[in-house]
C-alpha cells in the first residue's frame, strides 16, 4: 500500500443541489492522525476540439457566473446519467455548436480540480464535421468563434485564453494539426 494513502473513516453528504454534490469525510492520514476532507462528487465531463473543413477550430464564448465574466472556451459538457463520454461528446457538440462529427478521437483524460472535486475530463478531437438541423441548445447562451489553431495558441501564451481545459485542448490541437 502507498505510504501517502488517506483512508476513509466516515462520509457525510452536506449539500446536494442541481449541480453540486458536496461531501465531508473524516479520513486517516499516513501518520495515523485523523482530519477532514471536503469535496465535490462530479459525473465527469468531455471537452471537444471541433475542426472545421477549412482547418479552423471552433471556440465558443460564454458567460461563467462563478467568475462573473465571459470566457473563450472549447465546447464541453457534463455526462448525463448512464451516458458514455463518447455519447456526451456527440450530444454536446450538436447542442453547443450545431455539428455532428464523422470522426471522434479520444486524446487523453485530464483532472481539473483534484484538490476538491473528483471530476474527470475526456478530451476529444472532433473531425469531419457536418452541420445539423438542430440549432444550438436553447438553454445555452453561446457565441461561436471559429479561428486558426495558430491564433488560439498565441492567445494561450498571451494569457488571453485562461480556462484550463481550453488551454490544454488548444495545445493538443497545435501538436496534432499544425
Residues that bind a copy of itself (CB under 8 A): 2-6, 14-15, 17-20, 22, 24-25, 27, 29-31, 36-40, 61-68, 70-71, 73, 108-119, 141-143, 157, 159, 162-165, 167-168, 171, 175
In the complex, the smallest distance separating the C-beta of residue 36 from a copy of itself, rounded to whole angstroms, is: 6
Q: Closer to a copy of itself at the Cβ: 50 or 77?
A: 77
Interatomic CA distance for residues 74 and 168, integer angstroms: 10
Residue 167 sits at φ, ψ, to 5 deg, of: -55, -50
Q: Closer to a copy of itself at the Cβ: 98 or 129?
A: 98
In the complex, the smallest distance separating the C-beta of residue 31 from a copy of itself, rounded to whole angstroms, is: 8
Q: Closer to a copy of itself at the Cβ: 114 or 128?
A: 114
Angle at 136 between CA 134 and CA 139, to 5 degrees: 120
* Beta-sheet pairing, 57-64 with 45-50: unpaired
**Cβ atoms within 10 Å of 127's Cβ, excluding its own:** 16
* Beta-sheet pairing, 45-50 with 121-131: parallel
Cross-strand bridge partners of residue 21: 16, 41
Q: Closer to a copy of itself at the Cβ: 70 or 128?
A: 70
In the complex, the smallest distance separating the C-beta of residue 115 from a copy of itself, rounded to whole angstroms, is: 7
Amino acid at each position: 500500500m502507498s505510504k501517502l494513502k488517506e483512508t476513509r473513516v466516515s462520509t457525510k453528504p452536506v449539500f446536494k443541489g442541481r449541480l453540486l454534490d458536496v461531501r465531508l469525510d473524516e479520513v486517516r492520514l499516513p501518520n495515523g492522525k485523523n482530519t477532514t476532507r471536503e469535496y465535490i462528487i462530479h459525473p465527469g465531463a468531455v471537452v471537444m476540439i471541433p475542426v472545421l473543413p477549412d482547418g479552423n477550430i471552433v471556440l465558443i464564448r460564454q458567460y461563467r457566473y462563478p467568475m462573473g465574466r465571459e470566457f473563450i472556451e472549447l465546447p464541453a459538457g457534463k455526462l448525463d446519467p448512464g451516458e458514455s463520454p463518447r455519447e456526451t461528446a456527440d450530444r454536446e457538440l450538436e447542442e453547443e455548436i450545431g455539428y455532428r462529427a464523422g470522426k471522434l478521437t479520444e486524446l487523453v483524460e485530464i483532472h481539473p480540480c483534484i484538490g476538491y472535486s473528483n471530476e474527470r475530463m475526456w478530451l476529444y478531437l472532433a473531425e469531419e464535421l457536418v452541420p445539423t438541423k438542430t440549432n444550438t441548445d436553447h438553454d445555452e447562451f453561446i457565441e461561436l468563434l471559429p479561428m486558426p489553431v495558430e491564433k488560439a495558441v498565441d492567445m494561450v501564451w498571451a494569457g488571453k485564453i485562461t480556462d484550463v481545459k481550453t488551454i490544454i485542448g488548444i495545445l493538443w490541437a497545435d501538436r496534432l494539426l499544425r
